[in-house]
Amino acid sequence: MLKKELKEKVEQCYMELAQAEELPQADLPKGHLISVPKQEEHGDFASNLALTMAGPLKMPPAKIAQALQNGLVRDPLFSKVEVAGPGFLNLFISDSFWQGHLRTIIQAGRRYGESREGENRKVLVEFVSANPTGPLHVGHGRGAAVGDSLARIMAAAGFDVSTEYYINDAGNQMQTLGRSVYLRYLEHFGQDVEFPKECYQGEYIREIAVRIAKQEGDRFISLPFDECSQFFIEQAVQEISQGIREDLEDFNVHFDNWYSEKRLHSSGFIQDTIQELQAEGFIYEKDGALWFRTTEFGDDKDRVVRRSNGELTYFAADIAYHREKFQRGYEMLVDIWGADHHGYVPRVKAAIQAMGHDPKGLQVLLVQLVNLIQGGKLKAMSTRAGEFVTLREVLDDVGTDAARFIFLTRRCDSHLDFDLDLAKSQSQENPVYYVQYAHARLCSVFEKAAEAGLIQDRDNALDELLDMGEMDLSLLKEPEELRIMKLLASFPETVAGSAAALEPHRISYYLHDLAGLLHKFYAKHRFVGDDNVLSTARLVMAGATRTVLANGLAMLGVSAPEKM
């Protein structure tokens, strides 16, 4: 990756100058970094080394920069090195570098954008993990898009990534769920029942009840709930989970593993974990309950892990679950939660620390809730009250591509107003089409190139281009071309940065920028024109651009259509 090379080059240059006693000796500063200036006139890259060394060297930054400049200009990679502003080194890269890089992109193909920044670290990304008590709503959709894309991005950046869905199929909510279906079942057979407020109100509950009634008949109507709760719970969980899996599948979200909380209970692993913690002195008894000293690790108050009635809390299961994740060998855990669970972060981190892990080994990404807007007003969402817009509904309205792109074009910690009417009617103005259209246009360029006889086989065009003998990439020197080539070269860094910061939205913005440059070029110049040598060179650029657009869209889980 270019930035890294440049950083080394600049630092190497300083070391040589220090060696030659042209500059005083000092340690390299931590704050040195290579950035991309906002203004094109400020070069392709800028180094702040002189600024960060002004203090240690006790010299004016401009003077240090000048010495570095004299050393760096000798490198053929640079077409120009300037000292600017308070002491920046502006680095201008030779055109030939960018031109040659196009071949690198095409050679790498699907793999372009990958890097080894993650150093093969084992990471588990856990997301959605919605309770199997109802269909996924839009908020879950956002978490799903973020988690799934982040996993893809981190994999590309060289992490060894697995994804997991934690199924909360234990606890009180299961009783409530079963009872809800049971009561609807009784209603179906004409019994007059009181349907409590705390039960799940959604229509899907009735649908499950009706299905059971059809299959099983009325054989449960004389049984009290306690005697058939298991059956109703299992049926409901099974059916709802199936729906969730289908929704996610259609949303292009895939999990490597589905992890059942119930199994965590039945295996005795939670009890075992509590005993371990107790042995370490982190657990104490008060008022008949067992408490975890999370305050020792910065939490506001201690938390109950086993209630006085003997039941384990959700938190207890969570501790065991995270312990088990580490036991499976993961070095880094990424949890994606709804922001309404933010109060949980300190206690789970406390638990991890108590178990001897670095709290930084768990990164919790809090995804802000989605505000759904329909008819200009806010829609309330509550699973219990049964008032929610499901992910399914949104998918049917807007489609997977648009929904995913909208979710991924915002930072996680900013609220998202999802305007359904707009998303539906917006089909022409939706940002996702801007990027997809760029890809489709490039595909048709290749079709045109095949017609013109520049390439033989449209499907293997990229391989063909690489094998072509006479090729003059130095013809690519229009400003629009250079901008595209430069942005293409920064794709791997963007992916690595997106992974490191756990910010998938950076890929969306990158793609939008790239599509913009492509559209600008397209309006001003022609890929396939009268000059065959120039056209061939431009086809190489088209191929490289198409590759990056396709790879980036794949990371977002958005399709890259050949025609629109």
Site for RNA in 207-246 (CB under 7 A): none
Within 477-506, the residues that bind RNA by CB under 7 A are 497, 500-501, 503, 505-506
- Least CB distance to RNA at residue 18 (A): 20
Q: Does 547 bind RNA (CB under 7 A)?
A: no
Q: Does 263 bind RNA (CB under 7 A)?
A: no
Q: Does 299 bind RNA (CB under 7 A)?
A: no
Within 62-101, the residues that bind RNA by CB under 7 A are 84-86, 88, 90
User: Tokens standing for 311?
Assistant: 């039941």
Number of residues that bind RNA (CB under 7 A): 93
User: Tokens standing for 303?
Assistant: 């938390």
> Which residue of 120, 191, 230, 427 would you call a contact of RNA, by CB under 7 A?
427
- The mark string for 127-166 relative to RNA (x by CB under 7 A, - otherwise) is ----x-----------------------------------
Among the residue ranges 211-219, 245-253, 300-308, 326-334, the one whose residues contact RNA (CB under 7 A) = 300-308
**Residues 436, 256: Cα–Cα separation, whole Å:** 28
> Which residue of 95, 512, 534, 559 would you call a contact of RNA, by CB under 7 A?
512
Within 432-451, the residues that bind RNA by CB under 7 A are 433-434, 437, 440-441, 443-445, 447-448
Beta strands in 368-407 (DSSP E): 370-374, 377-379
**Residues 370, 366: Cα–Cα separation, whole Å:** 12
Within 2-21, the residues that bind RNA by CB under 7 A are none
DSSP bridge pairs for 78: 93
First CA to last CA across the chain, in angstroms? Answer: 34
How far CA 122 is from CA of 154, 197, 327, 329, 350, in Å, comes to 10, 44, 12, 7, 22
**Residues 434, 519: Cα–Cα separation, whole Å:** 9
What SS3 class is residue 189? coil
- Strand order through the sheet with 34-35: 34-35, 45-47, 88-93, 78-84
- Least CB distance to RNA at residue 363 (A): 11
Among the residue ranges 44-52, 69-77, 252-260, 388-396, the one whose residues contact RNA (CB under 7 A) = 44-52
Among the residue ranges 111-119, 150-158, 413-421, 455-463, the one whose residues contact RNA (CB under 7 A) = 413-421
Residue 257's CB is within 10 A of a number of other CB atoms, namely: 12
φ/ψ (deg, to 5) at 32:
-75, 125
Among the residue ranges 70-78, 150-158, 305-313, 325-333, the one whose residues contact RNA (CB under 7 A) = 305-313
> Which residue of 328, 341, 360, 477 would you call a contact of RNA, by CB under 7 A?
341
DSSP string, 236-282: HHHHHHHHHHHHHHHTT---SEEEEHHHHHHTTHHHHHHHHHHHTT-
Q: Does 399 bind RNA (CB under 7 A)?
A: no
CB 445 within 8 A of CB 519: no
- Least CB distance to RNA at residue 12 (A): 20
